[in-house]
Chains A and B, each alone.
Chain A
């Protein structure tokens, strides 16, 4: 993987122009997509609840988000007296900027099958259909989703108010817990693809559905990733961060006006980005049949359709699942997802190692089975001891 071919022969003005256009398009696309995501969510959730949903602003209420945005701009911007002025102002931008940055490494188009390496030709220059393809693309994604937690945490901390503080403490604990599972599910994909670049990962999945990592890694990493991503996004059923019944609005209780809008934007943008990442990691990115004409056009359509499917799934989650209790959340994260994905990771690594070094099948899997059995029993013993201690604590209380 050599990175974007646009810069291979030096950088001239046209390259910079193409780059700027890509940035602008990605930025606009993400903003518009977020706008419609909010609409889509509201409409779909009301469909699932036998309601109508927004239908006044624009056709089918399409402009509702736009109207809300305009309203936010003109509302009074309040800051509590106890709030830390600098951090209080900074936090929404951290949330919004990281949400934008993560999307930069997602390939949103380009044909990968049949020898072509996912490039498109714009003005006679070959380039990837993604804003940037750093060799450490996946790490960038993980880093951004970690930094986004700072936005939430600092917002709660700087508000100088108790409910936001509790909300943000919950958020950070939750994000740390689920980032482990999320990261390890990503590592499975990285091991299979042999590269950290998102473009490389998509290229490794080209050539049919069986090559998609959702299939070739077994379905488990995808499911773990989906659950962990839902938790990472603070979406229902893991939206304890902003549990209205307990915490008023959660970390953004004290925010109003455009600063609240930034959080709102970041939240929905992260949903889109996370869906795009799942498509990239597990569903072959823009891969799909090219039906007729316009070969550069179809991969993007497939990509968008796949992302839309995930957006639907997230809304579906919200409509269906009740919110978890906090100890259930921690239980699911630490005692179920992390051990599961840990074992799966070891299994996949072993499989790849065996294939690479041509080890004996029986010896490899026999040893693995023994090791896994020991590990599982130790883990279960530990979990049981932990549960007992927890029960004792409950009885004492």
Chain B
């Protein structure tokens, strides 16, 4: 019909499914390695993993991390080693969620959660201090009053680290290369970067998240 074909196209659209996700009401599952806000992890015995080495602060391109280490007291150590993170602050007005701090961390102390919906109204809320970043006794992130949480968002706190721990080296495939976490124990290994991620924490159905093609 030439000119009039367009009318048919728009008319048939009336009967198609809508693509809109009504965001605050319904949420699409996040990718398994989503970069949200950070958490500071702890060992299974409750000790903090952070050793105050400041590598994260050094690598941070946005200069949003401020760390000061201190010596552990022998009677009441905070972390298993010699030093611990005495001050740990992340300024979320500057953080670009690049995850370089997570890669830099030698003890998997800092990882990123899937939480990203927070709206603070002043600067001091924007700067998360150590008290706010450290996971609670159940191993889950601590909820701040200005954060919007949805069910399951707080469960996956270290997906990205786990995926990159073997650095793509096939020798490390299926081998647990990281320490246990408070609340989770030793997390099961992912199948490896060169295969489709079959992570029970990944909420994305595999067919929608086929990374095998662009990774090869």
Contact = CB atoms under 8 A, between A and B. Distances in A.
A49 interface: yes
A51 interface: yes
B16 to A, nearest CB: 6
Contacts of B10: 48, 316, 319-320
A82 interface: no
Interface in A316-356: 316, 319-321
Interface stretch (B18-26, B105-113, B133-141): B18-26
Given A47-B14, A316-B11, A321 B6 contact: yes
A51 B19 contact: yes
B11 A50 contact: no
A52 interface: yes
Interface string A10-52: 0000000000000000000000000000000000000111111
Contact of A51 (B6, B7, B9, B18): B18
A47 B11 contact: no
Given A320-B6, A320-B7, A321-B6, A52 B13 contact: no
Nearest to B21: A52
Interface residues of B, number: 13
A109 to B, nearest CB: 30
A48 B13 contact: yes
Residues of A contacting B: mostly: loop
A52 B18 contact: yes
B7 to A, nearest CB: 5
B133 to A, nearest CB: 36
Contact of B13 (A49, A55, A321): A49
A48 B9 CA distance: 9
Interface residues of A, number: 11
Contacts of B14: 47-48
Interface centre among A52, A319, A320, A321 (most CB of B within 10 A): A320
Interface in A132-168: none
B18 A50 contact: yes
Nearest to A52: B20
A316 B9 CA distance: 11
Contacts of A320: 6-7, 9-10
A94 to B, nearest CB: 34
Interface in B17-53: 17-20, 22
B27 to A, nearest CB: 16
B13 A316 contact: no
A42 B209 CA distance: 34
B69 to A, nearest CB: 50
Contacts of A48: 10-11, 13-14
Contacts of B19: 50-51
A320 B5 CA distance: 9
Contacts of B17: 50
Nearest to B6: A320
Nearest to A47: B14
A50 B16 contact: yes
A48 B18 CA distance: 10
Interface in A270-298: none
A343 B212 CA distance: 67
Contacts of A49: 13
A48 B19 CA distance: 12
Contacts of B18: 50-52
B13 A47 contact: yes
A51 B20 contact: yes
Contacts of B11: 48, 316
A55 B23 CA distance: 13
Interface of A: 47-52, 55, 316, 319-321
Given A316-B11, A319-B13, A320-B9, 19 more contacts: A47-B13, A47-B14, A48-B10, A48-B11, A49-B13, A50-B13, A50-B16, A50-B18, A50-B19, A50-B20, A51-B18, A51-B19, A52-B18, A52-B22, A316-B7, A320-B6, A320-B7, A320-B10, A321-B6
24 contacts: A47-B14, A48-B10, A48-B11, A48-B14, A49-B13, A50-B13, A50-B16, A50-B18, A50-B19, A50-B20, A51-B19, A52-B18, A52-B20, A52-B22, A55-B22, A316-B7, A316-B10, A319-B10, A319-B13, A320-B6, A320-B7, A320-B9, A320-B10, A321-B6
